[in-house]
Amino acid sequence: MDSPSQIQGYTIAEVTSGYREIEQRWLVVESLLRRETDLKQLTKQLDKQQKIQQAAIPKLSTQEFNCELDVRQAAQQLACQMKYHQMENIQVVEKAHYHKSGRPSQKQSPDRLRYHLQANLVLNTQAITASQNKAGRFILATNLTDIEHWTPTDILQEYKKQSVSERGFKFLKDPIFFVSSIFVKSSKRVAALAMIMALCLLTLLGSDRFVPILSQKIKLFPINAASLLNLPLSVGFSNVFKLFI
């Protein structure tokens, strides 16, 4: 059942379930913007897979197999690798080989028999439709069962706030932070480094308010500080922070 969302561009469907006597709420959220992005990515994947599979079938058709069973097993292995395509009109072609060159007589028996695959490549419409239906959708699960205090929109808003924490971890993993180039052996220095990283992360979280203030009082810094503040937040703020070191 769809539920209206106060956040523009989102539609929410909610279901409830229980696991080990714990009531849970499951929200299926569809983002219009994310759906458009996912559909574009799906189109690119279809074009890429089309080229790959169109080359894979002729390549497999040139291979020789000792029996019909081997051909069908190879075709099955190739079919398992296809996500948005499938093979139809699969046929096993028998080909006789002779040691002597030239056209064999009708009574001459072949020295050996080899088998080849013939098949046509088509789109798997069922798989494509399933991916299109999933585009732009994700699931949120929670044990906040009080619907009056926690509406589906409230839960979605809390989920979107996690981007602040994720941005902080992204900053710590950024090469500009030079964590990977620092080696400390003492446990005290490890603790000190962790404290410095935490302080930098807390400073970054408050930089949304701090950077505008720096922009207003830019005369307190060297001349090139103005250009540093125009960089992405984590990079620009780290460069400004180095001015104090």
The string of pLDDT tens digits covering residues 31-75 is 999 999 999 999 999 999 999 999 999 999 999 998 999 999 999
Instruction: Supply the pTM of this predicted model.
Output: 0.62
- SS3 of 124, please? coil
Q: What is the mean pLDDT of residues 73-88?
A: 93
- SS3 of 87, please? strand
d(CA 189, CA 110) in angstroms, rounded, equals 79
d(CA 14, CA 5) in angstroms, rounded, equals 12
Is the CB of residue 225 less than 8 Å from the CB of residue 243? yes
Q: Which two tokens stand for residue 43?
A: 């189109």
- Asked whether residue 240 carries a pLDDT value surpassing 60, the answer given is no
Which amino acid type is present at position 38?
Answer: D
Give the CA distances from residue 176 to residues 32, 63, 171, 224, in Å, rounded to whole numbers and listed in that order. Answer: 34, 51, 8, 18
Least confident of 7-21, 100-114, 196-210, 214-228: 214-228
Strand ordering across the sheet containing 2-3: 2-3, 10-19, 22-31, 137-142
The pLDDT, as a whole number, for residue 105 is 64
Pair type for strands 85-97 and 112-123? antiparallel
The pLDDT, as a whole number, for residue 147 is 82
- Asked whether residue 229 carries a pLDDT value surpassing 50, the answer given is no
Give the CA distances from residue 150 to residues 3, 24, 121, 142, in Å, rounded to whole numbers and listed in that order. Answer: 13, 13, 50, 10
- SS3 of 134, please? helix
- Asked whether residue 225 carries a pLDDT value surpassing 50, the answer given is no
- Asked whether residue 205 carries a pLDDT value surpassing 60, the answer given is yes
